Amino acid sequence: MDYLGYAEFLPGEYRRDSLIAPVPTWWSWRGKRVHVARAGSPDADVRVLAIHGAGGHSGLLWPFAALAAREGVEVMAVDLPLYGDTADPDPGSVRYPDWIDLLCDFVLAETASDDRPLVVFGASMGGMLAYEVAARTGAVAHVVATCLLDPEDPAARSAAARWAFMGRAAPGALRVIEPLLGRVRIPIRWAVDMNNMSLNPALSHACATDPKGGGVSVPIAFLSSFLGFRHTPPETFCAAPLTLVHPAMDRWTPAELSIRFLERIPDRTQLVLLGNCGHFPIEEPGLSQLAATLRSLLATLPGPAK
């Protein structure tokens, strides 16, 4: 599945015009060859970085990134280690904190000599990654997340897991077996509920079997490191405004789980429920609501310093 395959699931009005094709670029990080898809004008006033989750990659997010590029912004989408076209010489060593370190270093490298506002858009598990990167770098102008699934929340873990009991028992069980089997890789679809990726069964199947996305195998220690990770407490988050654009009919990670995390953030938050959308938000009217929300917040951002 490339971005064109995923674009076929979009409503017709979003497929009438050819999507802007991604330009593949490469970034070296700790011995890994990281793939970064890019598009849009380098003279744009605003940039958007898209971050995928545990069943995605840049190609899966590209139909959304291309829509943003049509709004006159420069867009980027990173393939995190284990996913997409990023090459890792030691996949068994990848841990969740590596994803956060990579994204923080990438954001800091991108903003070191470029003062254009950077919006970070996180989908699914990428929502918490976007949140954490903003908290740690202080270099993000706005966070947009489709989901804020906190692994410290037992209910959130139960929702994310393929079976609820796995979410409750997994942290302790994985800690026990990690010293011996941590580098062993298992299909991510064994651990998470990929069947509810979309309200469209064909799209859920495409995501779950995509060899660059939901068909990937991840180290047991990666799962353990995610479930045991402590994100920046929301009560102390003040790095950037945050907009939660949660699918209203998400059968995988119900909106109330993300909303209760959002409500713990003191200020500068907004909630938009995407009508009729499942976890992968392709349905109407939610997709148009997402586009309108992004358009509105992009219009509020100042341009680069003159």
Instruction: For residue range 156-172, list pLDDT tens digits in order.
Output: 888 876 654 444 545 56
User: Which position has the higher pLDDT, 154 or 120?
Assistant: 120
Where b means 16+ CB within 10 Å and e means fewer, 32-42 reads bebbbbbbbee
Average pLDDT, the chain: 92
Q: Own/partner pairs for 201-204, CB < 8 Å, 24+ apart?
A: 202/9, 203/6, 203/9, 203/280, 203/282, 204/280
Of the candidates 57, 54, 73, 64, the one whose C-alpha atom is nearest the C-alpha of residue 24 is 57
pLDDT digits (tens, 9 = 90+) for 242-255: 999 999 999 999 99
Residue 137 pLDDT = 98
Report pTM: 0.94
| DSSP calls for 45-93 | S-EEEEE--TT--HHHHHHHHHHHHHTT-EEEEE--TTSTT-B-S-GGG
User: 41-79 pLDDT, tens per residue?
Assistant: 888 999 999 999 998 999 999 999 988 888 889 999 999
Tokens of 166: 């796995």
**Cα-Cα-Cα-Cα dihedral of 39, 42, 47, 49, to 10°?**
40
Give 188: exposed, middle or buried? Use CB within 10 Å, 0-12, 13-18, 19+. buried
Domain locations in the chain?
3-297
What is the predicted pLDDT for the residue at 221?
Answer: 92
User: Among 2-6, 190-194, 241-245, which stretch is predicted with the lowest mean pLDDT?
Assistant: 190-194
What pLDDT score does 162 carry? Answer: 61
| 192, 157 Cβ separation under 8 angstroms | no
User: Which pLDDT band, with edges at 50, 70 and 90, does 141 fall under?
Assistant: very high
pLDDT value at residue 306: 40
Average pLDDT over residues 213-241: 95
Average confidence (pLDDT) over 282-298:
94
pLDDT tens string 209-226: 999 999 999 999 999 899
The listed CATH number (3.40.718.10, 3.20.20.70, 3.30.450.20, 3.40.50.1820) that belongs to domain 3-297: 3.40.50.1820
Q: Which residue has the tokens 């119900």?
A: 254
Structure confidence at residue 173 (pLDDT): 62
pLDDT for the residue numbered 170: 58
What integer pLDDT is reported at residue 35 of this predicted model?
98
pLDDT score, position 181: 84
